[in-house]
């Protein structure tokens, strides 16, 4: 549905986006990750046709957004950053206005507004002026605008920004549901959101894609991924670490903390974490350790994110 | 076409949701009344015409039109709604025209609401209604020009005050460059064609000739072409702003 090829954007001498290529198919939810100023919003603005790209091509459902903007824009629902809306209008007035711009009239318009209001829980504030709304409601009003025409493509720039935890949960659920039938791109700073909602994630840094894969794939890139952690209610750190080190396939061992004693075993290359986990379980039984936890680390997205997007100089410093 | 209508409707609703429209209409009616009866001495000059009513319009519009148009695009930029509007399946032209027409219509409404003066003058004497209709049309066209200039300046900046001041200065220059006091400055050195060109740019000269009751195609062409130029510039500014 969404095809982006070699996308570039220069603002004067500054390059905001530098050669981004990706596609999103129907039924996919693509998470856009990246530090502030990485080029996420700029990319989304180009996809939705607000700003023209300096180079490269974007096609929405087969329509080029620059050459043939109207049919392409018809397919898109867009929630811009900071969720703008006309503050002098009522929620209902605003939604009717956007529905009309989407070409909906009469009964279809009424139904579309009703549906969007229901999905975004806006019934209580329908006739209130946008100006008087809290940030969460304003945000949802703009979100309702983006789904009013039941678009095939949704572009959401930080859809959960400024919402309380309950609202965040609702919006995530909504995105996941809609993601089954639509092609969705959304950007976020919150990494747990990516794991909860996305079928695929892209990490952007300084205008380039630095990682692209399922959240699981990305987590596997973490240093911790595949390590086995064993936790004991009580015990001597050095003794336990020495015994764990002798298990086949273990490369090195670190003690994470005493009381409860937690020890992490990193596997050698090409050796399976599951085997180590099994061996450690047997070891614990044999030694009579008071076992509290034993699990294989999945890896952590924030660690991957940091290691990829931290500038090289800082990386050295932190080492 | 229907998109233009949708946008114009929203814009009108916006004007009436805030006090702006009411303030502008009331102030226009008050000032035009004061100017006509007090400074124009409508009752004592013994003429049954509205010359002194229309005479002040270039000045009244100078104040009121920029006040109306200053937020037209600057607010869209400041609030970020421009991003929303221009990612809708509409062309930028439809948005520009829709907003322009709505603002022009507000001035048109104020103008229509001055009808009691027309009734008064007809009651008092034998007014030349042909001249009055021509003047009304001319005044309305002139208002369109003022609003178009305001649209252009509001696209330049996200600050309403800057937009107001810049459009006021542009319009003031356009009014003044037809005055003898201003053209006299050029008489001594400028060649006559340049002099004519400068005076020909003036709102004043064109409106004056319409006020005499002659709807000359050249005057209409002047107003319409300045409007077209300003709206075209507006679209260029908006496109340049988007391109970064």
User: If pLDDT is split at 50, 70 and 90, which confidence band does A193 have?
Assistant: confident
B 87-146: CB under 8 A from A:
87-91
CA-based nearest residue to B92, from B244, B231, B190, B230 = B231
CB distance A317 to A43 below 8 Å: no
Instruction: Dump pLDDT digits (tens) for A133-156.
Output: 988 889 999 999 999 999 999 999
Taking residues B70-90, report their average pLDDT. Answer: 93
* B52-56, B131-135, B208-212: range with highest mean pLDDT: B131-135
User: Per the domain annotation, does B95 fall within a domain?
Assistant: yes
Does the pLDDT at position A315 exceed 60?
A: no
Q: How far apart are CA B153 and CA B160, in angstroms?
A: 9
A256 pLDDT more than 90: no
Contact in structure between A154 and A147 (CB atoms under 8 Å): yes
pLDDT at A319 (0 to 100): 47
- pLDDT tens column, A266-311: 888 777 778 888 888 888 888 888 888 888 887 777 777 877 777 6
Full set of structural domains in chain A with CATH: 2-220 (3.40.50.300), 228-297 (3.30.70)
Residue A45 at interface with chain B, using a CB cutoff of 8 Å: yes
* CB burial string A275-289: b at 16+ within 10 A, e below: ebbebbeebbeeeeb
pLDDT at A251: 79
Taking CB atoms and an 8 Å cutoff, what residues of chain B touch A67? none
Residue B69 lies in a domain: yes
What pLDDT shows up at residue B177? 84
In chain B, which residue's Cα lies nearest the Cα of A14? B244
Tell me the average pLDDT across B233-243: 91
Interface touch A74/B89, C-beta < 8 Å: yes
Give me B105's structure tokens. Answer: 């219509």
The beta-carbon neighbor of A101 closest among B88, B242, B243 is B88
| Of residues A216, A211, A200, A219, the one with CA closest to residue A29 | A200
pLDDT exceeds 70 at position A312: no
Query: Which is higher by pLDDT, A302 or B205?
Result: B205
- A238 pLDDT higher than 50: yes
Least Cα distance to B55 among B34, B79, B72, B76 occurs for: B34
Is the pLDDT reported for residue B226 higher than 60?
Answer: yes
Give how far Cα A31 sits from Cα of A12, A28, A157, Å: 28, 10, 10
In a domain, B173, yes or no: yes
Task: Answer yes or no: is B244 within a domain.
Answer: no
Chain B interface test: which of A45, A48, A76, A86 (most B C-beta within 10 Å): A86
CA quadruple B235, B237, B241, B243: dihedral positive or negative? positive
Give, for A296, the enclosing helix (H) or strand (E). strand A291-296
Within a domain: B163 = yes
Please indicate whether, in this complex, the C-beta atoms of A88 and B17 are within 8 angstroms of each other. yes
3-state secondary structure chain B: CHHHHHHHHHHHHHHHHCCHHHHHHHHHHHHHHHHHHHHCCCCCCCCCCCHHHHHCHHHHHHHHHHHHHCCCCHHHHHHCHHHHHHCCCCCHHHHHHHHHHHHHHHHHHHHHCCHHHHHHHHHHCCCCHHHHHHHHHHHHHHHHHHHHHHHHHHHHCCCHHHHHHHHHHHHHHHHHCCCHHHHHHHHCCCCHHHHHHHHHCCHHHHHHHHHCCCCCHHHHHHHHHHHHHHHHHHHHHHHHHHHC
The average pLDDT across B148-157 equals 95
Within a domain: B135: yes
Q: How many helices (H) and strands (E) does chain A have?
A: 12, 14
Distance CA A76, CA A60 (A): 8
- Boundaries of domain holding B196: 2-239
3 state DSSP class of A10: strand
Average pLDDT of span A102-131: 92
pLDDT: which is higher, B243 or A137:
A137
ipTM over 0.95: no
Spatial separation of the C-alpha atoms in residues A107 and A251, rounded to whole Å:
68
* Weakest-pLDDT range from A74-88, A304-318, B7-21: A304-318
Q: Give the total number of structural domains in chain B.
A: 1
Q: What pLDDT does residue A71 have?
A: 94
Closest CA to B230 of B203, B199, B209: B203
Q: Each residue of A207-227: pLDDT tens digit?
A: 888 888 888 887 777 777 778
């Amino acid at each position: 549905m969404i095809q982006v090829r070699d996308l570039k954007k220069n603002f004067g001498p500054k390059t905001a986006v530098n050669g981004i290529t990706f596609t999103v198919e129907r039924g996919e939810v693509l998470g856009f990750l990246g530090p502030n100023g990485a080029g996420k919003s700029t990319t989304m603005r180009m996809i939705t046709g607000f700003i023209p790209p300096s180079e490269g091509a974007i096609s929405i459902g087969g329509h080029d957004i620059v050459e043939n903007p109207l049919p392409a824009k018809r397919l898109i629902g867009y929630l811009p950053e900071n969720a703008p809306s006309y503050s002098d209008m009522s929620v209902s007035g605003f939604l009717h206005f956007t529905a009309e711009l989407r070409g909906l009239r009469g009964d279809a318009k009424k139904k579309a507004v009703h549906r969007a209001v229901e999905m975004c829980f806006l019934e209580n504030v329908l006739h209130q002026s946008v100006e008087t709304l809290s940030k969460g409601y304003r945000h949802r009003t703009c979100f309702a605008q983006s789904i009013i025409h039941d678009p095939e493509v949704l572009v959401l720039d930080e859809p959960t920004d400024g919402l309380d935890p309950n609202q965040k949960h609702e919006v995530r659920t909504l995105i996941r549901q809609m993601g089954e039938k639509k092609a969705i791109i959304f950007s976020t700073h919150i990494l747990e959101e990516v794991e909860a909602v996305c079928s695929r994630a892209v990490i952007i840094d300084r205008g380039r894609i630095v990682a692209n894969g399922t959240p699981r794939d990305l987590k596997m890139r973490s240093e911790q991924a595949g390590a086995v952690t064993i936790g004991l209610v009580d015990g001597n750190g050095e003794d336990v670490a020495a015994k764990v080190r002798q298990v086949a396939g273990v490369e090195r061992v670190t003690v994470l903390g005493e009381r409860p004693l937690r020890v992490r075993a990193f596997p050698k290359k090409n050796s399976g974490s599951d085997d180590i986990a099994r061996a450690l379980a047997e070891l614990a039984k044999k030694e009579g350790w008071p076992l509290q936890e034993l699990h294989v680390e999945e890896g952590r997205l924030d660690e991957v994110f940091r290691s990829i997007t931290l500038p090289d100089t800082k990386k050295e410093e932190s080492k | 076409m229907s998109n233009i209508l949708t946008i114009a409707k929203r814009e009108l609703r916006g004007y009436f949701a805030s006090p702006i429209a009411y303030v502008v209409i009331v102030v226009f009616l008050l000032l035009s009344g004061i100017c006509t009866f007090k400074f124009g001495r409508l009752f004592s000059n013994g003429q049954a015409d509205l010359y002194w009513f229309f005479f002040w319009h270039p000045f009244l519009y100078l104040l009121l039109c920029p006040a109306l148009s200053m937020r037209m695009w600057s607010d869209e930029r400041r609030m970020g709604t421009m991003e929303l509007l221009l990612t809708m399946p509409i062309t930028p032209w439809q948005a520009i025209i829709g907003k322009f027409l709505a603002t022009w219509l507000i001035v048109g409404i104020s103008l229509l609401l001055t009808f009691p003066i027309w009734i008064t003058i007809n009651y008092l004497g034998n007014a030349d209604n042909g001249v009055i209709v021509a003047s009304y049309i001319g005044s309305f066209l002139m208002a369109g020009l003022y609003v178009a200039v305001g649209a252009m300046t509001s696209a330049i900046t996200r600050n309403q005050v800057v937009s107001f001041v810049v459009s006021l200065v542009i319009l003031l220059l356009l009014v003044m460059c037809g005055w003898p006091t201003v053209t006299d400055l050029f008489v001594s050195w400028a060649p006559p064609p340049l002099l004519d060109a400068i005076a020909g740019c003036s709102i004043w000269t064109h409106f004056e000739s319409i006020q005499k009751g002659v709807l000359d195609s050249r005057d209409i062409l002047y107003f319409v072409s300045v409007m077209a130029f300003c709206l075209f510039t507006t679209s260029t500014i908006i496109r340049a702003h988007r391109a970064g």
